[in-house]
Amino acid sequence: MAAPEAQPQSSPTLAAQDEKNRKFDTTDTESALAPNTTIPNPGFSPAPDGGARAWLVVAGAACIFFSCLGFMNSFGVFQEYYLSHQLSDQPPDNIAWIGSLTSFIQFAGGALAGPLFDRFGVWVLRPGAVLYVFALMMTSICKEYWQFMLAQGVLTGLAMSMLQIPAFAAVAQYFDKKRAAALGIVVSGSSIGGIVFPIALSKMFNGSTLGFGWSVRVMAFVVMPLLAFSVFAVAPHLPPRKTNFFITAAFKDVRFLMIIAAAFCCFIGMYTPLFFIPTYAVSRGIEPTLASYLLAIVNAASTFGRIIPGILADRFGKLNVFGIGGILTGVIVMCLNTATSTAGFVVYSIAIGFASGTIISGSSAALSMCADDPRNIGTYMGMGMALASSASLVGPPVDGVMLKTYGGFLEACIFSGVVCLFGGVLAIATKATTPKGIFGRV
């Protein structure tokens, strides 16, 4: 009787490796099975949560936010300047569309930049840095409204999207327990930029002979070495993922969708002071240069409003701090029309700066909680911020229409404040979708 045919045996080492790859190389289908579960660095070394390399990435990312979002936070200076110079024939809402488009594209473009970073790493940053400097140079020679829309609105926003979301994703890969604090430090770079750019631009616009063109070009020369440092300092901690470009399973996660909706509402409210506080101050008799300095005060206060809540978020919960920040911001936005004196404007600027500082870093940290694999963080952040950023196409233009229609700021403040307040409440309600529930530290 013939002996049974021997079955081929695979190497135990190869079998173990196949099992490891099968377990951790996640796909959209696998992600859908447990959308609220975060797998801690599957198959790789854990996030270091510190060390020279991790903090170098934070420094590079902070330089990116200084150069990009910091410049964007000074748009109120451009808004006030355009109304009295190049675009004096345009209504306030038309000019606000320039900044709104920049704000939208800088985060909406993350829907592509995030997945690209997850796949190709730092190579996404380098063309973005070149494009950003080019966009600033083109803005400096603009004369007509459509030129500003293309250069400052479209090109600048596109370049920012290629830099900011990958920077966020890279930092998130290096930090786990200290992630909110690290992201808060990164976004504080935009606060420092929001101090430097408004003061420098206002001084050059109103108190020098440089003119508009050379004033903007000087700012481009300032950011060049910072971006050059960033593209070499920022690098991913994890190897690239090879699964689907977009993770469609994310949109089956109720928590992910609720965080996006909360960020959308908060963004509508937080942009009102950033766009219109200099214009409102001038309407109250404040000297234009001093009115522009109010943006610097807002951003100085938001430096602490991003770092301190970030530290607290790691201890008391990311959604808790994000939600409380949204509620406080909404209440303070509704009080803008009560500031009538120089002292009142300074106090108001400090309050709104600190409260609103939690929103961008808080929403980003909350979105990172939804990723089931650290290699997917860039994609989750990019997709989430792309949807939430559409608020910038709603908030400032609607505020501009209200300003033109009613001739005052009260209606715009009430609209923006109430929507932002709702966003903060929605962020708190999102805790109900987590295992710890509405009363947990999430």
pLDDT value at 280 more than 90? no
Q: What is the pLDDT of residues 115-138, one digit of tens each?
A: 888 777 778 888 999 999 999 999
pLDDT value of residue 160: 92
First and final C-alpha spacing in the chain: 68
Average pLDDT estimate for 274-294: 82
Q: How far is CA 175 from the centre of its chain?
A: 18
* CA distance linking residue 178 with residue 238, whole number of Å: 17
pLDDT value at 24 more than 80? no
pLDDT value of residue 417: 92
Q: How far is CA 359 from the centre of its chain?
A: 9
pLDDT value at 27 more than 60? no
Q: How far is CA 211 from the centre of its chain?
A: 30
Question: Helices marked H in 334-409 — which ranges?
Answer: 342-368, 377-388, 395-406
* CA distance linking residue 329 with residue 355, whole number of Å: 5
Q: Where does the pLDDT of residue 328 fall: very low under 50, low under 70, confident under 90, or very high at 90 and above?
A: very high
Q: What residue has token string 């490796």?
A: 17
Q: What is 233-278 written as a DSSP string?
A: H---SSPPP-S-SS-GGGGG-HHHHHHHHHHHHHHHHHHHHHHHHH
Among 168-182, 211-225, 230-244, 257-271, where is mean pLDDT lowest?
A: 230-244
pLDDT value at 147 more than 90? yes
DSSP 8-class letter at 8: P
DSSP 8-class letter at 437: -
**Cβ of 438: how many Cβ atoms within 10 Å?**
13
> Contact 354/379 with Cβ under 8 angstroms?
no
* CA distance linking residue 30 with residue 248, whole number of Å: 11
> Contact 118/169 with Cβ under 8 angstroms?
yes
Average pLDDT estimate for 297-321: 84
pLDDT value at 93 more than 50? yes
Average pLDDT estimate for 214-220: 93
Q: Which residues contact 150 (CB under 8 A, 6 or more apart)?
A: 138
% of the chain residues with pLDDT over 90: 26
Q: What is the pLDDT of residues 344-372, one digit of tens each?
A: 999 999 999 899 888 877 887 888 788 77
Q: Which two tokens stand for residue 195?
A: 């101090």
> Contact 192/207 with Cβ under 8 angstroms?
no
Average pLDDT estimate for 233-253: 79
Q: Which two tokens stand for residue 98?
A: 């320039």
Query: Mean pLDDT of all residues in the chain?
Result: 82
pLDDT value at 26 more than 70? no
Q: What is the pLDDT of residues 398-424, one digit of tens each?
A: 888 888 888 788 888 999 999 999 999
- For 304, phi then psi, to 5°, come to -70, -30
pTM for the model: 0.72
pLDDT value of residue 43: 56
Q: Which two tokens stand for residue 35?
A: 């959308």
**Cβ of 182: how many Cβ atoms within 10 Å?**
29
Architecture of the structural domain at 49-232+249-433: Up-down Bundle (1.20)
Q: Where does the pLDDT of residue 146 fall: very low under 50, low under 70, confident under 90, or very high at 90 and above?
A: very high
* CA distance linking residue 163 with residue 124, whole number of Å: 7
* CA distance linking residue 179 with residue 433, whole number of Å: 21
Q: Which residues contact 179 (CB under 8 A, 6 or more apart)?
A: 47, 171, 172, 314, 365, 368
